[in-house]
Structure 1
Amino acid sequence: TNWLERMVKELADAKYTEEEMKERINAEKKLETFPRLEFGDPGVYERMKKLPSRRIIVTHLTPHLLPPSIFQSKAKILVLVRNPKDTAVSYYHFCNSMPVLPSFASWDGYFADFMNGKLTWGSYFDHLLEWNKYIDNERVMTISYEELKEDQVLGMKKIAAFFGFSLCEEDFSRIAKKTSFKAMKEKSSETHGKFGDILFRKGVVGNWKELFTKAQNEEMYRKFEDSLGGTKMAAKIKYDVYCKA
């Protein structure tokens, strides 16, 4: 999410001069707003209204928890999805590294909770099922972590076209270098402070192979098929490509 947020901001800001960028950054700092819909004090939404256009706001919430006005306005929504096995492993490490979240004594104990949706922000499967209802909405675009990892420039071109950002070829190359996992991890202490090491761990596809047992592979496959099998969201995830045991 942090990776995609940085990419979208860079794509949106490509048209601004250095001076204009400084003004925008200062305006954001003055408002003391952390642009996540579900975090902050009650006054955060009033302050968000004062953020310079275009406002880029991030959330982990499912559609039914978002204000209905979002779907009735001109807002555009970019939904990021990731294969369930890597999501599970990434979130396991995140929970055990983030002091404000419950930690887990074992992978097996965590896996059971992940499969039952007993985690902060709820069930992975329900989350994707909810967003699947909007997959054909012209104001909603779904992109996968894996396709961005395979060809970041192509992914950014799709995102830019969706949002109506106008960039040249050099912009895409420059932004791809600036937002590579390596570049962002190296600067993470500057950009994310003490959370840098927590948010930028490995940034790879297929790390699930280090933790999943044969029985867990089988359980995940059954659950994915039962929950999402045959949906357009399942086709986007490409389970047979990225989760093949």
Structure 2
Amino acid sequence: MADNSKFIDYIDEALEKSKETALSRLLFTYQGIPYPVTMCTSETFQALDTFEARSDDIVLASYPKCGSNWLLHIVSEVIFAVSKKKYEYPEFPVLECGDPEKYQRMKQFPSPRILATHLRYDKLPGSIFKNKTKILVLFRNPKDTAVSFFHFHNDVPDIPSYGSWEEFFSQFMKGQVSWGSYFDFAIDWNKHTDDANIKFILYEALKENLASGIKEIAEFFGFSLTGEQLETITAQSTFQAMQARSQETHGAVGPFLFRKGEVGDWKNLFHETQNQEMDEKFRKCLAGTSLGAKLQYDSYCKA
């Protein structure tokens, strides 16, 4: 249970900026990675280096469209169940989005602070590692991620659209989309699959057994849930339950954030050459790695 009013204000503001932004002008590059001008600035990235993480912060890392809003919801429900306090988002929870002064304001926030991010491991502020802050990393198979990302661009009325799925797929494979390449993101996080303070979780595993996933997440962050609490949070965190409340929790963009939530939706858009290109890219970048094995690519990405 969270107070999302500031969250909604920020999204509305970003959508307003998007209205005037052409697709060709949507991205700017910072340290070699493209980010959306509607949500990030170079000044904010520079200020982020000075961000002071706490050891009890809750960091939720994921590539865009891999279920970060789902994770934010689950974690705030866990905190509510344990503390009986409604979790408030006094700032937009994505660490790298907002104005450069946000990190000063965040010093006043009570613990635990929930910090979502789409950044690679090596782009996070050093204080997160220095203070051994726990990081939960959520991954989703790359084919469904690409399709969800495409629909987000082309369904939300104010966000710049791509001419076609083919055009988006080509940009996605080149890493010329917001937050850059899925595969570079994965390669970077793969180096840390055995770090003590980092836990990896799969979107598909959450879909298959939500209660078990929620229990695992709570335990990783040091929260203990009763059977009844676990049952309640699970019921409130199904895709259907979140979709039903999406307008209330995320404003105008809510219904687009929670579009389908299916595993295997990629089969509706990918054609054979695209399948081969993605399969080859996965093989080249992640086959034989610890994260590659966790992603169960053959189960989720082979027709």
Q: How high is the TM-score relative to the length of structure 2?
A: 0.75
**Cα pair 1:35 1:48 within 8 Å, conserved:** no
The letter for the 1-side match of 2:212 is: L
Distance 1:233 1:154 in 2: 20
The equivalent of 2:171 in structure 1 is 113
- Determine which of 272, 289, 292 is the counterpart of 1:214: 272
- Determine which of 44, 53, 78 is the counterpart of 1:11: 78
- Is the deviation greater in 97-106 or in 220-229? 97-106
The DSSP-based 3-state class of the residue aligned with 1:105 is coil
1:63/1:101 CA distance change after superposition, 3 Å:
farther
The letter for the 1-side match of 2:83 is: Y
The DSSP-based 3-state class of the residue aligned with 1:191 is helix
The equivalent of 2:104 in structure 1 is 46
Distance 1:63 1:40 in 2: 20
The equivalent of 1:204 in structure 2 is 262
Q: Does 1:241 align with 2:299?
A: yes
Q: Does 1:76 align with 2:122?
A: no
Q: Does 1:165 align with 2:232?
A: no
Superposition deviation, residue 101 in structure 1? 4.6
- Is the deviation greater in 62-71 or in 8-17? 8-17
Distance 1:77 1:171 in 2: 23
The equivalent of 1:55 in structure 2 is 113
Distance 1:61 1:100 in 2: 24
The letter for the 2-side match of 1:89 is: V
The letter for the 2-side match of 1:155 is: G
Q: CA RMSD in A?
A: 1.3
Distance 2:290 2:107 in 1: 34
Kindly provide the CA deviation profile for residues 84-104 of structure 1, in whole angstroms up to 9, marking residues without a partner as x: 100000000112234665421
Residue segments in structure 2 that go unaligned for 5+ positions in a row = 1-67
1:230/1:207 CA distance change after superposition, 3 Å:
same
Kindly provide the CA deviation profile for residues 62-118 of structure 1, in whole angstroms up to 9, marking residues without a partner as x: 112110111121310000000010000000011223466542111111111111111
- From the two aligned structures, give the one with the greater strand fraction: 2
Residue segments in structure 1 that go unaligned for 5+ positions in a row = none
Aligned length: 236
Distance 2:243 2:180 in 1: 28
Distance 2:170 2:261 in 1: 24
Distance 1:50 1:14 in 2: 23
The equivalent of 2:246 in structure 1 is 188
The letter for the 2-side match of 1:169 is: G
- Determine which of 152, 155, 161 is the counterpart of 1:97: 155
The equivalent of 1:66 in structure 2 is 124
Kindly provide the CA deviation profile for residues 195-239 of structure 1, in whole angstroms up to 9, marking residues without a partner as x: 111211001100000001011111110000001111111111100
The letter for the 2-side match of 1:140 is: I
The equivalent of 1:2 in structure 2 is 69
The letter for the 1-side match of 2:213 is: G
Superposition deviation, residue 36 in structure 1? 1.1
Superposition deviation, residue 150 in structure 1? 0.3
The DSSP-based 3-state class of the residue aligned with 1:80 is strand
Superposition deviation, residue 12 in structure 1? 2.2
**Cα pair 1:61 1:121 within 8 Å, conserved:** yes
